[in-house]
């Protein structure tokens, strides 16, 4: 491959020893980026494999990014080992699926620690570095790609913790976009549908020709484009990607408004305008079965 739009860039990918994270790391390396692999275990071996296959500089760091200290260590690993940082792909995640009335505090806290606090911790460390670099006279653009889910937009049965965390990632990303654009940093969100370890217990479809529409490698080119400088000025956007399809998820828009002037709004005003004001359509479009990462639901144990 002669087109290397990320040559000279350094990318940090969390949760990158397998699944989506590993696919993203391979793809960025194939396009010339040096990569830092972070995961709970196995990061050094994964980094070695990528270096041998793609002939790019790599580094690996085993560690939990679910704390400010852990996020800082991941960013420092890139800077100390490879000299800089240009791209962050927050991908690390877990599921602990239970219906809301059965969910215990441990299941709630574990998911929010990885998805929510982990994404925050890495973003905090990376944005601090990018800001200081820009203020120091280096205008090099940077890209943050955070991994959310359609569950974070529409909700999902059995995943109150996961949906809450992923919705928070979208809101966090919009804030990072607003705060960091003046420093040349863009921040976007990817909502992937992919066959990963979190879906091991589900029966997922294949096409008639045996191809796997949920191969994580279908998602990585989108991440690669958003990571490259060619995606400027795309920022503050959400994309769904899977099986050869990429779709822009438009931001929420205002609906009908009831306005009363010169007096206080009354119950009767709302009732008279209710048909226009309140949509009776379900706000939750049905997610494809393969997008529901709910192992217990699939096995009927709810």
300: left (phi over 0), alpha (psi -120 to 50) or beta: left
Of 119-128, 157-166, 285-294, the least confident: 285-294
Looking at residue 291, its pLDDT comes to 41
Per-residue confidence band for 266, with pLDDT thresholds at 50, 70 and 90: very high
Burial 108-135 (b: 16+ CB within 10 A, else e): bebbbbbbbbbbbbbbbbbbebbbebbe
Looking at residue 206, its pLDDT comes to 55
Beta-bridge partners for 39? 62
Domain 10-253+285-298 has CATH 3.40.50.720: yes
Round the average pLDDT of the chain to a whole number and report it.
88
Prediction pTM value: 0.88
How far is 1 from 257, CA to CA, in rounded Å?
Answer: 54
Q: 11 and 86 in contact (C-beta within 8 Å)?
A: yes
Strand, helix or coil for residue 258 = coil
For tokens 């408004």, name the residue.
257
Mean pLDDT of 99-103: 97
How far is 294 from 236, CA to CA, in rounded Å?
Answer: 29
Beta-bridge partners for 187? 144
Mean pLDDT of 195-220: 64
How far is 29 from 193, CA to CA, in rounded Å?
Answer: 22
Per-residue confidence band for 302, with pLDDT thresholds at 50, 70 and 90: very low
Mean pLDDT of 255-264: 92
Of 104-108, 117-121, 125-129, 250-254, the least confident: 250-254
Two tokens at 226? 């958003």
Mean pLDDT of 90-100: 95
Q: 129 and 75 in contact (C-beta within 8 Å)?
A: yes
How far is 277 from 256, CA to CA, in rounded Å?
Answer: 6
How far is 95 from 6, CA to CA, in rounded Å?
Answer: 32
Asked whether the predicted pLDDT for residue 195 surpasses 50, the reply is yes
Two tokens at 159? 């995943």
- Of the candidates 57, 58, 56, 55, the residue with the CA atom closest to the CA atom of residue 45: 58
Asked whether the predicted pLDDT for residue 142 surpasses 60, the reply is yes
Looking at residue 287, its pLDDT comes to 52
The residues spanned by each domain of the chain are: 10-253+285-298
Task: Determine phi and psi for 18, rounding to 5 degrees.
Answer: -160, 175
The catalytic residue positions are: 149, 162, 166
Mean pLDDT of 175-189: 97
Per-residue confidence band for 66, with pLDDT thresholds at 50, 70 and 90: very high
């Amino acid at each position: 491959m002669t087109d290397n739009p990320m040559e000279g860039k350094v990318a940090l990918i969390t949760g990158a020893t397998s699944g989506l994270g590993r696919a993203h790391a391979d793809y960025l390396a194939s396009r010339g980026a040096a990569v830092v692999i972070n995961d709970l275990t196995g990061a050094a071996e994964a980094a070695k494999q990528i270096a041998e296959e793609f002939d790019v500089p790599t580094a690996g760091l085993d560690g939990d990014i679910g704390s400010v200290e852990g996020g800082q260590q991941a960013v420092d690993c890139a800077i100390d080992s490879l000299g800089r940082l240009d791209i962050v792909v927050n991908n690390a995640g877990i599921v602990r699926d239970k219906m809301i009335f059965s969910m215990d505090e441990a299941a709630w806290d574990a998911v929010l620690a990885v998805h929510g606090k982990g994404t925050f911790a890495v973003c905090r460390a990376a944005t601090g570095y990018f800001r200081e670099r820009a203020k120091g006279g280096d205008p090099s653009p940077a890209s943050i790609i955070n991994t959310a889910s359609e569950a974070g937009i529409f909700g999902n049965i059995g995943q109150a913790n996961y949906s809450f965390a992923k919705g928070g990632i979208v809101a966090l990303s919009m804030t990072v976009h607003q705060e960091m654009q003046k420093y040349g940093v863009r921040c976007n969100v990817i909502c992937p549908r992919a066959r990963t370890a979190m879906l091991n217990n589900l029966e997922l479809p294949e096409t008639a020709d045996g191809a796997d529409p949920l191969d994580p490698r279908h998602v990585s080119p989108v991440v690669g484009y958003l990571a490259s400088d060619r995606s400027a000025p795309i920022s503050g956007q959400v994309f769904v990607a899977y099986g050869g399809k990429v779709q822009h998820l438009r931001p929420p828009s205002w609906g009908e408004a009831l306005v009363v002037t010169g007096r206080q709004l009354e119950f009767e005003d709302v009732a008279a305008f209710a048909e226009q004001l309140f949509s009776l359509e379900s706000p939750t479009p049905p997610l494809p079965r393969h997008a529901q990462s709910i192992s217990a639901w699939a096995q009927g144990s709810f």
